[in-house]
Amino acid sequence: MTLIDGDATTPTTGPVLSVRNLRVWYGTARGPVRAVDGVSFDLRRGETLGLVGESGSGKSTLGRGVLGLLPDAAKVTGEVRFDGRDLVTMPRRRLRAMRGPQLGLIFQEPMTRLNPLMRISDHFLETLRTHEPGMSKERMRKRAIDTLGAMGIPPTRFTNYPHEFSGGMRQRIMIALALVLNPLFVVADEPTTALDVLVEAQIITILNDIKRNFDTSILLITHNLGIIAEACERVAVMYAGRIAEQGDARAVFARPAHPYTRELLASTISLSTTDLHYIPGSPPDLIDPPSGCRFHPRCPDAMRVCPTRHPPTVTTELNQKVDCWLHGPDDQIPSGGRDPLEREAIGVADEA
């Protein structure tokens, strides 16, 4: 399958994307919202990293923070190194020029992102004309049609308007728009939201084809653990602005190291599900998050040490990175720190 007739990108060594201690805060009348608070991860060439967590955990803010697509009022600190360059300190004009040819974004709701007054052809021609002004109109047209064809959109639909497509086809168009300039790195923000399971499976297949054929690195943001299992080599589990656990997807699913990961997996519905499971309580207010480990008010394994300080990142025997006092380090846990907290003390009532 050939999507793009552009020049091949230069191979890179090491991670394509390296995020270190990234923080994104929003100012409000009540105080700063700590939407992303000290996140670190790496993404290699041709790899898909799944970012999963409950709504409000900071997933979309993290994705947009990496690309520099945040409101002016947002404060961003930390380091986001893409192909050796720090995107956080990079001038806005230069970063804007990188979006499209090197950095891509697949939006969550295509009907709100596609201009209803513009034909699909106009969307592609505008994108190509902006970033590759020297390209002839005929070559632009061929590039766009080839990319859409790889997404299953026939050339006969090239001049249609967005409202003439189904939700699944509009999502494919959004993916094609993100890929038409052959970026090295793409953020896919909930690309299967509101789609039926058959179209969802098709989108997953497309994402797998992208990384296999073009060596594109993908940050896949979703709340669906099934999609992570199908499309991702690695997974990062996000809770209350922080990554609780990350590692090889198969290892994390087989032996989750963090109680939050374990509870998320237990809450997944399958054909063998007989009883519904849920995580008691609600995600915390990010203006005033809990002290220590932010999951401790909802954690079934919470210990006395958990509210006192945030756990350091520990690497397990399966090479999973986890922030949880259950895995030590023992020399940092005070005497009696491993004693369990009473459920009433952590604000979670016993189930009936």
Residue 10 has pLDDT above 70, yes or no: no
Predicted TM-score (pTM) of the model is 0.89
pLDDT of residue 194: 67
pLDDT of residue 202: 83
Domain boundaries, the chain: 17-239, 256-332
**Considering the chain, what is the average pLDDT of its residues?**
88
pLDDT of residue 236: 97
- Domain spanning 17-239: which CATH class is it, in words? alpha beta
pLDDT of residue 68: 93
Residue 85 has pLDDT above 50, yes or no: yes
Mean pLDDT (whole number) for 218-241: 93
pLDDT in tens, 258-308: 999 999 999 988 778 788 888 999 999 999 999 999 999 999 999 999 999
More confident residue, 80 or 332: 80
Residue 159's contacts (CB-CB under 8 Å, 6 or more residues apart) are 119, 120, 121
Omega within 30 of 0 (cis) for the link into 329:
yes
Q: What angle do CA 256, 262, 267 make, to 5 degrees?
A: 140
pLDDT of residue 342: 72
Question: How many angstroms separate the Cα of 83 from the Cα of each of 11, 278, 285, 300, 301?
Answer: 10, 40, 35, 41, 40
Separation of CA 223 from chain center? 10
Mean pLDDT (whole number) for 114-138: 93
- The answer to whether residues 173 and 107 touch, using CB atoms and an 8 Å cutoff, is no
